[in-house]
Structure 1
Amino acid sequence: MVRLKRRRLKRYSTKEATYNDEDQTVRMYLRGRPIILSAPTDVADNYDITKVATAPSQKLKLDWVYGYRGRDCRSNLYMLPTGEMVYFVAAVVVLYNTEEQNQRHYLGHTDDVKSLAIHPNKLIVATGQCAGHDKREARPHVRVWNSVSLHTMAVIGMNDFDISVCCISFSKADGGALLLAIDEASDHTISVWDWQKGEHGYKITETKCSVDTIVAAEFHPLDRSSIVTCGKSHIAFWTLDAGGTLYKRMGIFETRDKPKYVLCVSFLQSGDVITGDSNGNLVVWGRGTNTILRLIKNVHEGPIFSICVLKDGGVITGGGKDGRLVQFDSNLAKTGEESQIEGHYGGIRVISEGRGSQLLVGTTRNCILTGTGSLGFQPVVLGHTDELWGLAAHPSIPQFATAGHDKLLQMWDSMSHSILWSKDIGEQAQSLAFSPDGNTIAVGCVSGHWLVFDSQTRELLGQYSDGIEPIQVIQYSPDGSMLALGSRDNHVYVYQVSEDGQKYSRVGRCMGHSSYVTHIDWSSDSQTIRSNSGDYELLYWNAGTCRQVPQSSSFKDTEWATSTCTISFQTIGIWPENADGTDVNCSDRSHDSKLMATGDDFGKVKLYSYPVIQPRSLNHAYGGHSSHVTGVSFLHDDSRLVSTGGKDTSVLQWIIS
């Protein structure tokens, strides 16, 4: 009877998974492709495919966010009265108190945050986001929230924006009753909202702004009905009339050189508008006019990305190319005080006032510095600047390493939340692995090269090459005697490791996959490798001979040192409804084998009870990354989980409790 009952199983539209009692295998489908997985002996006889697995009792709490988005966003770094800096990276808005070394996080967004504005009362914050990979799940909108309680006060424009909200500003002269937003769509729509009307606000007006790129939009601090927008080869002065209609006057450059970009806008205490442009010039526009009052040429070599008007009326400008901060008094006479940001931090993207005489500086290489012109600037936030794929946890201490397409290999300490060291390795990195003793790090590169470094001294111990395609995955065997590399050329390369991880000699090449290799696991006895590929295969290899072992059922009871392969009997339940085989990018099993974490294409980190052998397995899901989560890794003692975002360049650290 039991057998009959099992045969009459419910067919899930998920993977249409079925269990065959005779040969004790599950057949599931990914994108219409059948995958047959053998059940381990200890579960085969009593396996019930219809059972729903419960979510684990443990949960994740976001502990620390590494990184800042300065490479392509502006006006996104401010000091709050709470003593916290507020800025964003990925889908997280970070409130960071550097003196207390404490972070809080606003997690209301579902994809990349692109814009930020502070209300005149300095307590309320508005943040705008872009559309996500799944447009239904992550639509562009603006969220208005309280920076003390982190309570969301309004969600605005959920069906009104197309691409992303690239600029937002609260009105100033009326106490912040209005909010303007610019959509990064082709005609850059500008809309003005009464944000306090209901939970979704009320749209007062909307009009096409410009076919050219808009980089800044601000309400005038003294004139309630006046708005300034600027961007590619233009500046526009807008008037919002009593009936809610917007009228535009373009700024007139007359005979003066029209810049390619007007890059930033601020307001002098007199009410005059001041802009910085791509020619390195400052332009003052008379209050209430669209004409130039004053031009200060060649303040910077290259573009001016930020103008900060200080409380005393002085002005500081920041150069995006020359990395200089230039100070002026309230009459725009140079004070002679200049400072230079070190080139490796990038150009200056944004300047704002910090505590006392301190300034906050966000850079184009995703760093945040604090300091003064006289005492210099120190980094308080460092991160990656390009797509991030490589992640590996140290096997015995609370550290982890990351590496990305920015050619940086970085070692982090999870307890002090700091970078221990950062090294330019001269190659775009794709994958990472620590040796079992933690003494060496192997880095797989986009070029097909792979490098081995001493994890303490950062010294390059060896440089090797296998093919010309990216090394997608790299893993040491548990006993440290071998190293396996999975390439985009469909092959797994195996090396013998000797002389304490300093010498590598190739054993052979595993050939048999019909698509690129995505994941690799070693058996606990270091004899066998299993691997997944881009067309959803699960293959097994004899590590010593590099021969494929076709009888997959013979490995059903094998103990695996790791569980990073996303397609295996132990990971059946990580695949959601109607999953494409590329939806889940990464998985990792905790060291005590009780938990599994995954990262997917929808910005989610998920936590499951391990093993995840039921097609329907409940989980806890967490946002914070933008669309693609590229890596998840439990730290050595399972106290924390680290995840990496691909294009969002962020590293998130979660406490497991």
Structure 2
Amino acid sequence: MSFTPVTHTCQYNEEEGSMRMFLRGRPVVLYGPSDLDGLDPGKVAPPPQNKLKLEWVYGYRGKDCRNNLYLLPTGEIVYFVAAVVVMLNVEEQCQRHYTGHTDDVKCLAIHPNKLIVASGQCAGHDRIDARPHVRVWNSVSLATLAVLGGSQIERGVAALSFSRADGGSLLATVDDAPDHTISVWDWQRPDKHCLADTKCSVDTVVAVEFHPLDRNQIVTCGKNHIAFWTLDQTNMLYKRMGVFESRDKPKYVTCLGFNPNGDVLSGDSNGNIIVWGRGTNTILKMVRGVHEGSIFTLCCLKDGSVLSGGGKDGRVVMFDSEMNATGMENVIEGHYGGVRVVAEGRGSQIYIGTTKNCILHGDLQLGFTPAVLGHVDELWGLATHPTLPQFVTAGWDRLLQLWDGLSHSTVWSKDIEERAQCCAWSSDGSVVAVGALSGRWLVFEPTSRDLLASHHDGNEPIQTIQYSPDNKYVALGSRDNFIYIYQVDDNCSRYSRLGKCLGHSSYITHLDWSEDSQYIRSNSGDYELLYWNATTCRQITNPTSMRDVVWATNHCPITFTTIGVWPEGADGPDINSCTKSHDGRLVATGDDFGKVKLFAYPVTQPKSLCHAYGGHSSHVTCVRFLPDDSRLLSTGGLDTAIAQWIVD
């Protein structure tokens, strides 16, 4: 055999028309179609003419972040999910995006002029461009005005605040490192000068706020403490701890606010609100038992009244400017989570960010409806409808959600009581199948949401599930190394097992059906590509006999037509998902580095150029095209975000 070595850990055998690709040093031999003209493995394939443009991001990060929802003068609400800061006009249903970050955005602050935004990110993983830092930017033009702390912030930015008494010339940050350093920046200076920094607390710090009336006063709070800081004329920071005296000291001081005369308000984990006299570190007034459990937010309205939000009881309670209860309150529905943040809207409107990654809008009298829904745990399942611009997602939060890609809305959300790993539409779009971590798999009718069938195969997660093009079979790839094949009857409501395919030496990661529904190909965790006769469940051990089979999809990343999606020196698990457009011109991949990549199909050149896109802050777990190829969907695992890209 005469192998021609090339640089991209691949060797091409011209006589056989095969490519030997090495993944983690393990050879994988891939056979091209028999009519393949001589492939030049040294040639570099150009990127596709098409590009992606971020159109919409579904989701919100309220699960573990605070103070991250504000109304802008444009009528948009600003919040973040993954590495994207989103500006959403709820009434007009349009989004804009600030995409300057490279990893998880963790905090947000609005300048007194309401136009400038500061957003802080955490450190990335194994990426040079992902130092933790703060970005200050214009919410109208989306131009970046300043980048702060790239060499000084260790782990991430825990909290941010613009000064208010002097028109926003200063910016305070708290580092998420063990010592929780507080820094004050003159962010408008060309050198982005850090005026002062000092160790803040060994305990967790959850909020920092400049006093609205005193430029040199800053308040921080967190575990076991509230601290009152003074920035003196020599730019030194001095701290006085809040004195709780004989009163019950809370485990956490969870949020801050200010009443019109400059007193500091704090909410805590005991459900109490404390009023601290302006300029002092002593308690002026305590309102006990406002909420059951922690108070996560205090929103001081323009008219001087105050709204408090309960993280456990889901109540929003209104007080007057003297912290007397007004009797006005509302409770959000439990399935949305607890109240994480409350933001003042226009008129009597308020926006509520929740602990289950939802944003609600409405008022205390009429109640609240969702403006943004999301997943709240690791997200792997994504499947697009075969003919409509709709898609389903399924995650470890036990939620199965149907979305409309044109209206950018949630059609419905269902608790399926199983942690989901994958999902698929039947070929006619009549049912949705969901594979779970328990080895159970479920089939639902998408209009009624009724459960039509439930089966259990093995005790390991169902990693992938696909219906055959003729809708007569469904194949399930499991983490137990087997592929289970079922016959489908009665309009996809009855399933009878044909058998299981044995032969893989590691867990199944991806599979494809042939266009004639006769064959299956599959990839596994140890980078194998195997072929199967679907009706007999037998392995086809001669891969050359399969070289001219036409495949309905290209979800397997280890194939001859996707050689070039693998970067040089790639590790097998680097690429989590792969998909071919329905017109056969494009391939998209999602990888472990938060990137969505777009290639020209077929990607048979070992050296293939692509367009790469950020936005996700975690491994991209799945990518799929809508049926008309006008848009691409991508899901982020730990970031729980769903990104919708226009294919230009």
Please indicate, yes or no, whether the TM-score normalized by the shorter chain is above 0.5: yes
Give 1:197's aligned residue: 189
Q: Secondary structure at the match of 1:582?
A: helix
Inter-partner Cα distance in structure 1 for 2:152 and 2:11: 44
Counterpart pick for 2:23 among 13, 26, 30: 30
Counterpart pick for 1:126 among 118, 126, 129: 118
How do 1:381-530 and structure 2 match up within 5 A?
Answer: 381-530=372-521
Inter-partner Cα distance in structure 2 for 1:591 and 1:55: 18
Deviation for aligned residue 1:88:
0.6
How do 1:579-598 and structure 2 match up within 5 A?
Answer: 579-598=570-589
Does structure 1 residue 185 correspond to structure 2 residue 177? Answer: yes
Does structure 1 residue 286 correspond to structure 2 residue 277? Answer: yes
Deviation for aligned residue 1:181:
1.2
Give 1:79's aligned residue: 71
Amino acid aligned to 2:566: W
Asked if structure 1 preserves the Cα contact closer than 8 Å seen for 2:314 and 2:332, the reply is: yes
Inter-partner Cα distance in structure 2 for 1:381 and 1:419: 8
Give 2:9's aligned residue: 16
Measured against aligned partners, the alpha-carbon deviations of 1:380-429 in whole angstroms (never above 9, x if no partner) come to 11111111110000001111000000101111111111111111100000
Does structure 1 residue 65 correspond to structure 2 residue 57? Answer: yes
Give 1:110's aligned residue: 102
Measured against aligned partners, the alpha-carbon deviations of 1:35-71 in whole angstroms (never above 9, x if no partner) come to 111122232x320001111111111111111111111
Asked if structure 1 preserves the Cα contact closer than 8 Å seen for 2:418 and 2:437, the reply is: yes
Q: Runs of 4 or more off by more than 3 Å in structure 1? A: none
Give 2:552's aligned residue: 561
Inter-partner Cα distance in structure 1 for 2:618 and 2:131: 12
Inter-partner Cα distance in structure 2 for 1:95 and 1:490: 44
Asked if structure 1 preserves the Cα contact closer than 8 Å seen for 2:14 and 2:39, the reply is: no
Asked if structure 2 preserves the Cα contact closer than 8 Å seen for 1:395 and 1:438, the reply is: yes
Deviation for aligned residue 1:293:
1.1
Amino acid aligned to 1:171: S
Deviation for aligned residue 1:577:
2.9
Asked if structure 1 preserves the Cα contact closer than 8 Å seen for 2:146 and 2:188, the reply is: yes
Counterpart pick for 2:633 among 628, 642, 645: 642
Amino acid aligned to 1:355: R
Inter-partner Cα distance in structure 1 for 2:298 and 2:378: 29
Inter-partner Cα distance in structure 1 for 2:283 and 2:424: 58
Amino acid aligned to 1:552: P
Does structure 1 residue 95 correspond to structure 2 residue 87? Answer: yes
Inter-partner Cα distance in structure 1 for 2:408 and 2:76: 17
Asked if structure 2 preserves the Cα contact closer than 8 Å seen for 1:90 and 1:626, the reply is: yes
Amino acid aligned to 1:185: A
Amino acid aligned to 1:315: V
Q: Secondary structure at the match of 2:302?
A: coil
TM-score normalised by structure 2 residue count: 0.98
Measured against aligned partners, the alpha-carbon deviations of 1:284-303 in whole angstroms (never above 9, x if no partner) come to 11111111111110011111
Q: CA RMSD in A?
A: 1.3
Long gaps (5+) in structure 2: none
Inter-partner Cα distance in structure 2 for 1:71 and 1:412: 21
Give 1:311's aligned residue: 302
| Comparing 218-227 and 460-469, the one that deviates more | 218-227
Asked if structure 2 preserves the Cα contact closer than 8 Å seen for 1:527 and 1:542, the reply is: yes
Inter-partner Cα distance in structure 1 for 2:308 and 2:591: 41
How do 1:157-236 and structure 2 match up within 5 A?
Answer: 157-198=149-190, 201-236=192-227
Measured against aligned partners, the alpha-carbon deviations of 1:414-472 in whole angstroms (never above 9, x if no partner) come to 11111111111000000001000000111000100000111211110011000111001
Inter-partner Cα distance in structure 1 for 2:32 and 2:129: 35
Inter-partner Cα distance in structure 2 for 1:645 and 1:327: 37
Deviation for aligned residue 1:636:
0.7
Give 1:629's aligned residue: 620
Q: Secondary structure at the match of 2:35?
A: helix
Deviation for aligned residue 1:312:
1.1
Does structure 1 residue 356 correspond to structure 2 residue 356? Answer: no
Does structure 1 residue 149 correspond to structure 2 residue 106? Answer: no
Asked if structure 2 preserves the Cα contact closer than 8 Å seen for 1:110 and 1:623, the reply is: yes
Amino acid aligned to 2:467: Y
Deviation for aligned residue 1:514:
1.3
Amino acid aligned to 2:23: L
Amino acid aligned to 1:83: G
Deviation for aligned residue 1:249:
1.4
Amino acid aligned to 2:177: A
Measured against aligned partners, the alpha-carbon deviations of 1:253-312 in whole angstroms (never above 9, x if no partner) come to 111101111000111111111000000000011111111111110011111000001111
Inter-partner Cα distance in structure 1 for 2:398 and 2:618: 22
Inter-partner Cα distance in structure 2 for 1:282 and 1:264: 9
Counterpart pick for 1:50 among 29, 33, 42: 42
Deviation for aligned residue 1:360:
0.9
Inter-partner Cα distance in structure 2 for 1:180 and 1:578: 42
Long gaps (5+) in structure 1: none
Inter-partner Cα distance in structure 2 for 1:194 and 1:556: 64
Asked if structure 2 preserves the Cα contact closer than 8 Å seen for 1:318 and 1:326, the reply is: yes
Deviation for aligned residue 1:159:
2.1
Q: Secondary structure at the match of 2:562?
A: helix
How do 1:318-357 and structure 2 match up within 5 A?
Answer: 318-357=309-348
Deviation for aligned residue 1:22:
2.6
The alignment of Structure 1 onto Structure 2 pairs a total of residues equal to 648
Q: Secondary structure at the match of 1:572?
A: helix
Deviation for aligned residue 1:236:
1.0
Inter-partner Cα distance in structure 1 for 2:9 and 2:220: 53
Inter-partner Cα distance in structure 2 for 1:207 and 1:298: 35
Deviation for aligned residue 1:24:
2.1
Inter-partner Cα distance in structure 1 for 2:42 and 2:234: 61
Asked if structure 2 preserves the Cα contact closer than 8 Å seen for 1:133 and 1:627, the reply is: no
Deviation for aligned residue 1:542:
1.1
Asked if structure 1 preserves the Cα contact closer than 8 Å seen for 2:9 and 2:568, the reply is: no
Identity, % of aligned pairs? Answer: 65
Asked if structure 1 preserves the Cα contact closer than 8 Å seen for 2:47 and 2:608, the reply is: yes
Measured against aligned partners, the alpha-carbon deviations of 1:185-209 in whole angstroms (never above 9, x if no partner) come to 11212222111122x6222222221
TM-score normalised by structure 1 residue count: 0.97
Inter-partner Cα distance in structure 2 for 1:169 and 1:104: 23
| Comparing 426-435 and 15-24, the one that deviates more | 15-24
Deviation for aligned residue 1:328:
0.8
Amino acid aligned to 1:37: L
Does structure 1 residue 549 correspond to structure 2 residue 540? Answer: yes
Q: Secondary structure at the match of 1:93?
A: strand
Give 1:601's aligned residue: 592
Asked if structure 2 preserves the Cα contact closer than 8 Å seen for 1:187 and 1:211, the reply is: yes
Deviation for aligned residue 1:86:
0.4
Deviation for aligned residue 1:211:
1.6
Deviation for aligned residue 1:627:
2.0
Deviation for aligned residue 1:135:
3.6
Inter-partner Cα distance in structure 1 for 2:184 and 2:42: 52
Q: Secondary structure at the match of 1:290?
A: coil
Give 2:238's aligned residue: 247
Q: Secondary structure at the match of 1:554?
A: helix
Amino acid aligned to 1:323: G
